[in-house]
Amino acid sequence: MRRRQALIVGISLLAPTLIAMTPNLSAAAAAAPQELRSTLPSAHLVGSGPMRFFGLRVYEARLWAMPDFEPKEYARQPFALELIYDRKLEGEAIAERSVAEMRRVGSFSEQQARQWLLLMKKAFPDVLAQDRLLGVTDGTGDVRFFHNGRETARIQDAEYARLFFGIWLSEQTSAPGLRTALLGKR
């Protein structure tokens, strides 16, 4: 079962041609999550899109940022990435796939990989349909993770923040169509 979930997570992150985009939600159509309202009260919805695997939705991703958000400088700005899951996945599989995807964005040591994997196993519990994972960064390397509104982990590491959020926002992403939708450029 864990291998199947890891495969679903892996292929969904690696197969941009399988992503079927839906229209971006307008700022009025989606309210900012409560935990975001207290940390980034001026954030608005920039864009959103689903991640699909062979036509099945895995999650809906939403980018919340300040009005002057610059995509090329994402690592130096405060924002949040929200994932609303459509199916059950193991947190450990999500964490392992995240490390693999971070390697697409940039290189890092095996020691960093082990440290970050431990952090993400804590940050990402098993998820069910409609569970929300939210990652918030302040633009200086402070990252907080929330599961359904409850904080699960925190790290102060600018390189981690750049690589982790780069899974979706860097030009090296394995899902350029989703990146385009998140940036509201669809």
Half-sphere exposure of 157 (CA within 13 A, CB side): 15
Q: What is the CATH number of the domain that holds 61?
A: 3.50.70.10
3-state secondary structure of 54: coil
- Indicate the number of domains in the chain: 1
What is the model's pLDDT at position 17? 31
Low-confidence ranges of the chain (pLDDT < 70): 1-29, 186
Closest CA to 101 of 116, 86, 123, 82: 116
What is the model's pLDDT at position 13? 43
**Residue with the two structure tokens 């001026």:** 42
pTM reported for the whole predicted model? 0.84
Closest CA to 112 of 168, 160, 70: 160
**Residues of the domain holding 147:** 2-182
How buried is 70 (Cβ within 10 angstroms: 0-12 exposed, 13-18 middle, 19+ buried)?
Answer: exposed
What is the model's pLDDT at position 7? 46
